[in-house]
């Protein structure tokens, strides 16, 4: 649909409007509970800010906004593989969903929450990569709590194996002072520490909060745990709950890797931290014909003063 048709079919006066920005179509949302921005390019949520709070999602000032290019920041939707494709076939890093054009299926206001549903099916590009029998539905609930639900359905006659992630970039005041709790005792692959054969080392997260001190790229397996990002600089905590997910990824490029990323900026790493809900590696999903799988993430914000009173 063009902008006029999207607004005619799904627009909500004073709440939801569609517009063009840098050649891409986006939904701009404003309710008493929150403001948000969602691009149809990649079904990419780039902004979510509960009323009275600081922005929750990091978005790079140097991000490319162009067809065929991934947006740096927000919540990239990763499907059908995580990282580099590892079945010996060609394909872009993190799959094709984050650079595909999604369709709007539903928009509605329930109380102060905006509900938005986007869908993606096979096209010429996905078929060239060997994916012809899938359907994706992405449902966003945008209010004081953020809920993201990604459903994958197998329309084919053979099993569908895939990886997926909601690659969420969070704003933090200073990643060197932030912490992540909820992963103690969990086994992970450390992609920054390799065995002699080049494979990531397997480690177990020690007790206590995780505090990053260098480039971090960790894939935690077999965990359904809720994670909490503690941010003493912004004086808040971000609670990241999930279901239908067995993998959590923690990533920050730090100074060395950030300098190699043209769309990030040398110092932007200080203000961001990725805690990602995923199913990857040994947690990849296999769907029988006709089956569907839903992965969900919820994010809530509390000021430290609220947290301390509750304690």
State the catalytic residues.
167, 276
- Farthest-apart Cα atoms in the chain, separation: 59
Cα–Cα distance for residue pair 255/270, rounded to 1 Å: 8
Cα–Cα distance for residue pair 251/305, rounded to 1 Å: 27
Cα–Cα distance for residue pair 185/252, rounded to 1 Å: 21
Cα–Cα distance for residue pair 234/252, rounded to 1 Å: 18
Spatial CB neighbours of 252, under 8 Å, sequence gap ≥ 6 = 175, 212, 215, 216, 269, 272, 273, 274
Spatial CB neighbours of 127, under 8 Å, sequence gap ≥ 6 = none
């Amino acid at each position: 649909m063009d902008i006029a048709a999207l607004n005619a079919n799904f627009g909500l006066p004073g709440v939801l409007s569609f517009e063009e920005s840098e050649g891409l179509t986006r939904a701009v949302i404003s309710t008493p509970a929150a403001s948000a921005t969602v691009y149809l390019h990649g079904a990419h949520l780039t902004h979510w800010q509960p009323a009275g709070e600081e922005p929750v999602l990091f978005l790079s000032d140097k991000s490319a906004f162009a067809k065929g290019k991934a947006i740096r920041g927000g919540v990239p939707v990763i499907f059908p593989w995580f990282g580099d494709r590892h079945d010996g076939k060609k394909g872009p890093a993190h799959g094709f969903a984050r650079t595909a054009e999604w369709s709007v299926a539903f928009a509605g206001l329930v109380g102060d929450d905006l509900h938005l549903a986007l869908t993606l099916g096979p096209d010429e590009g996905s078929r060239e990569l060997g994916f012809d029998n899938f359907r994706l539905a992405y449902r966003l609930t945008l209010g004081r709590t953020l809920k993201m639900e990604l459903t994958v359905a197998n329309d084919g006659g053979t099993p569908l194996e895939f990886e997926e992630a909601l690659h969420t970039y969070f704003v933090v005041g200073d990643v060197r002072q932030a912490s992540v709790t909820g992963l103690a005792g969990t086994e992970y692959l450390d992609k920054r520490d390799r065995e002699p054969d080049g494979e990531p080392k397997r480690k177990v997260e020690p007790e206590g909060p995780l505090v990053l001190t260098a480039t971090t790229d960790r894939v935690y397996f077999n965990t359904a745990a809720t994670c909490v990002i503690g941010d003493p600089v912004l004086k808040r905590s971000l609670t990241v709950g999930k279901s239908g997910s067995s993998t959590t990824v923690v990533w920050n490029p730090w100074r060395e890797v950030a300098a190699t990323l043209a769309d990030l900026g040398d110092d932007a790493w200080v203000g961001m931290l990725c805690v990602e809900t995923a199913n990857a590696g040994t947690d990849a999903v296999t769907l029988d014909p006709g089956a569907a799988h839903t992965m969900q993430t919820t994010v809530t914000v509390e000021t430290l003063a609220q947290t301390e009173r509750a304690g």
